[in-house]
Amino acid sequence: MAAITLRQLEIFAQIVEHGSFRACARQIGVSQVAISDHVRQLEERLGHPLFERVRGGASRLTPDGERAFLHASKVLRALDALMAEMAVPDPAPQARKLVISAHSHILRYFQEPLAQFEEEDPDIHIELDLDIFTAGPLGEKIRDGTVDIGFFYALEAPAQMESTLMWHEPLGFFVARDHILAQQEQVSPADLLNFPIIRHGPRNALRLLIDQAMEQAGLSQCAVATESDNYVQVLTSLRNGLGFSCMFESSADELIRFGGLKRVAFDGDIPAIEVRRIVGPGWSKDPILARLLAVL
């Protein structure tokens, strides 16, 4: 029996993370055919289908797929830990390292400018930190020098540190296409309170910001239908009509086209999430950084 490869597990995990075969292929820069081939080989080795095939829709895990994803995640985390533990520091680094911290949703806007910058400045090595994207933890990393440029989400400028407003991410409300709310021209806060919400888990930092925005919109008393950090499960619950969800409006095209959802017009006032930038003192007067910031 052929062995399972690390690449197959990585592709499998990225499909779950990005929500579909197509989104995964677009994100990592390979063809959708190649993605499907990796999954087919992994399914043959495991002897079970991992996804329910829904043409043009989100990739939904089968029960066997959910079990396989838990094991695959453990394997990939263990490998990352092994590599981190066994890594030998370079005694004579040839490039200056610059660490940029942001949520992957923010960094997707910067992929091409960053690639061009690294090509033009080979003496600068850019490292990405995708784990921190709220003000408090990012401020700590800036102060201890482990992050040089940070982009974070906030509802307003934090008082404890100086930051620059970059843009706003408006929030929208999404339901299944055949949900009763999808038939209304507009929905009010009172309309939404009649239905449960589908959202990320309680330890998700972005979820907490969205909760604060919804509280300001008078929606803090919503019942909960589903809480999960599994994006596929969130989309599946929405598509099955179990409730509504509050997400970035910039994701609307993908959610409508591939997720089978509809964005409802909200007859209320919900604050947009701010994207703000902070720069560490170590690079504050560096001309190279000034040029990078202009590119971004």
CATH of 105-167+274-295, one of 3.90.226.10, 3.40.190.10, 1.10.3720.10, 3.30.70.380: 3.40.190.10
CATH 1.10.10.10 in the chain: give the residue spans: 6-86
Asked whether residue 166 carries a pLDDT value surpassing 80, the answer given is yes
Q: Alpha carbon of 20 to those of 101, 166, 258, 289: distances in Å?
A: 25, 29, 8, 36
pLDDT at residue 24 in the model = 84
Asked whether residue 172 carries a pLDDT value surpassing 60, the answer given is yes
202-230 pLDDT, tens digit per residue, is: 888 889 999 999 999 999 999 999 999 88
CATH 3.40.190.10 in the chain: give the residue spans: 105-167+274-295
Asked whether residue 273 carries a pLDDT value surpassing 90, the answer given is yes
pLDDT at residue 191 in the model = 96
pLDDT at residue 94 in the model = 62
58-67 pLDDT, tens digit per residue, is: 778 888 888 8
CB neighbour class for 196 (10 Å; exposed up to 12, middle 13-18, buried from 19): middle
Q: Calculate mean pLDDT across residues 162-169.
A: 93
pLDDT at residue 245 in the model = 95
Q: pLDDT-based confidence at 175, cuts 50/70/90? A: very high
Q: Which of these ranges, 27-31, 138-142, 146-150, 190-194, has the smallest mean pLDDT?
A: 27-31
234-269 pLDDT, tens digit per residue, is: 999 999 999 999 999 998 888 888 778 999 999 999
pLDDT at residue 266 in the model = 96
Q: C-alpha angle 117/131/39, rounded to 5°? A: 85
CATH 3.40.190.290 in the chain: give the residue spans: 171-271
How far is it, in rounded angstroms, from Cα 200 to Cα 239?
16
Q: Calculate mean pLDDT across residues 47-54.
A: 83
Indicate the residue type of 112. Answer: E
How far is it, in rounded angstroms, from Cα 80 to Cα 84?
6
Give the chain's radius of gyration (CA, Å): 21
Asked whether residue 276 carries a pLDDT value surpassing 60, the answer given is yes
How far is it, in rounded angstroms, from Cα 260 to Cα 240?
10
How far is it, in rounded angstroms, from Cα 243 to Cα 239?
9
Indicate the residue type of 245. Answer: S
Single pTM value for the model: 0.64
CATH class given for the domain over 6-86 = mainly alpha
The three-class DSSP label of residue 187 is: strand
Q: pLDDT-based confidence at 1, cuts 50/70/90? A: low
Give the position of tokens 């911290």. Answer: 101
How far is it, in rounded angstroms, from Cα 127 to Cα 149?
10
Residue with more model confidence, 292 or 171: 171
Strand pairing class (96-101; 124-129): parallel
User: CB within 8 A of 138, min separation 6: which ones?
Assistant: 101, 132, 147, 150, 152, 278
How far is it, in rounded angstroms, from Cα 34 to Cα 125?
29
Asked whether residue 286 carries a pLDDT value surpassing 80, the answer given is no
Q: Calculate mean pLDDT across residues 1-17.
A: 83
pLDDT at residue 87 in the model = 80
Domain 171-271 in CATH 3.90.1150.10: no
